Structure 1
Amino acid sequence: MAMRRSRRTEAVCLLWLSPTLALTPAAPARRPHAARLAAALAGPPQAMETGPRPAVTIEDAGGIDPTPLIDQLRAGDFEAADQTTRDLLIEIAGADATKRGYVYWTEARTLDAAALGAVENLWLHYSDGKFGYTVQKDVWRRQKGVFDRFCDKIGWTTKDEVTGQARKRRWFGQSEFFYTLQEAPKGHLPLTSALRGTQLLKALLQHPLWETDDWKRDL
């Protein structure tokens, strides 16, 4: 997998990404498991989960390795988990997406249901139901699919310090998004790119999996 570009050099705004562009910049090669685990457990001590890890296996997760995501979410490192989620969606989309380093919006509605469901259950579990695609789907429905209202509701909009006008939060340089349960509005995470359109976001929220209860799991 191609090396991910530094956020400081990524001169794009998260919420104005191309509908055919990435869920994320191309992700780096996976680190050894021990290194991933050490990095994940280095998250905020006050957010550390003290209970047992949920028994989510590679088989349960449609063939993807859920361990890094579990460890990051368990440690309360939602920023790392957000990036790992985008990396996993590229992996779930298959070899072509992995080679190019991003997911086409046309691929989003056909993502493997078991893998996508596993990711969603982990986000819901470790955020106490505050973060996840189904949470965003509910907000999207309540806002009648109006993108600007949706962004306002989940905190993807802020006021520009110079102009005083509302604008979308920036993801490059120093991220303007929130990565704690205390600060982030409901549905704030995971982040999904939408430059010059909302097809990718819509496709994820319209995945047929969410219309069933098959994906739900008590972790």
Structure 2
Amino acid sequence: VIQKITSNNLVSEVGVDYTKLHYLLNKKKWKEADKETWDILCQLFGRPSGYYLKLNDIKTLPCQDLATLDQLWIKSSGGRFGFSIQSRIYQEVSEDYPSFCDRVGWPVYNPHVMDSAFNFNLKSPIGHLPSRRWVGGYFDWWRHIEILTIKLKECG
């Protein structure tokens, strides 16, 4: 069940303001909303904007903030985009990362120009956004969807 998101229930465990993201998503400004999502993820960990988050960061995402981000994306996209949508797809392909990338329309490897790898519109495959451009790490960055899936299960 998709709950109604209003500016009064954009809840954060750590005081992050979701107003700008809510606005961008309502206006269907997908690219700007994707960047704002990255900025918010950085804020959640006290990191500077543009910081690449590691797997351990994902493991400690505040559950309420993860739920708020997810619900904002789900509601604004009519159920096409969101972290839980990506997690469901990952599980549907038996947690096979290349198959997951194929389903959501992502390249398996990170391109040099990250924005060129993503389509910021509703014609994108289900689960395409938010993008993974916020994920860092040398050898294990691709495990972000695995860790995110575990975190979503933990948060219930």
Q: TM-score range by the shorter chain?
A: 0.7 to 0.9
Q: Which has the higher helix share?
A: 2
Q: Which residue of 2 aligns with 1:189?
A: 129
In the comparison of the two structures, how many residue pairs are matched?
148
Long gaps (5+) in structure 1: 1-52, 158-166, 214-219
Does the 8 Å contact 1:123/1:132 carry over to 2? yes
User: How big is each residue's C-alpha offset from its partner over 1:57-116, in whole Å with a ceiling of 9 and x where there is no partner?
Assistant: 46x2221100110011011001111111111111112x3x34993322112111111111
Instruction: Provide TM-score, normalisation by structure 2.
Output: 0.81
Q: 1:56 and 1:152 mapped to 2: Cα distance?
A: 37
Q: 1:99 and 1:190 mapped to 2: Cα distance?
A: 16
Matching residue's letter, 2:74: L
Q: 1:76 and 1:99 mapped to 2: Cα distance?
A: 22
Partner SS, residue 57 of structure 2: helix
Q: Which has the higher contact order (CA 8 A, sep 6+)?
A: 1
Q: Which residue of 1 aligns with 2:73?
A: 123
Identity over aligned pairs, percent: 25
Q: 1:200 and 1:66 mapped to 2: Cα distance?
A: 23
The yes-or-no answer on 1:135 pairing with 2:135 is no
**Matching of residues 199-210 of structure 1 within 5 Å:** 199-207=143-151, 209-210=152-153
Matching residue's letter, 1:87: D
Q: Which of 80, 93, 117 does residue 32 from structure 2 map onto? A: 80
CA RMSD of aligned residues (A): 2.7
Q: Which of 98, 117, 121 does residue 176 from structure 1 map onto? A: 117
Larger Rg, first or second structure (1 or 2): 1
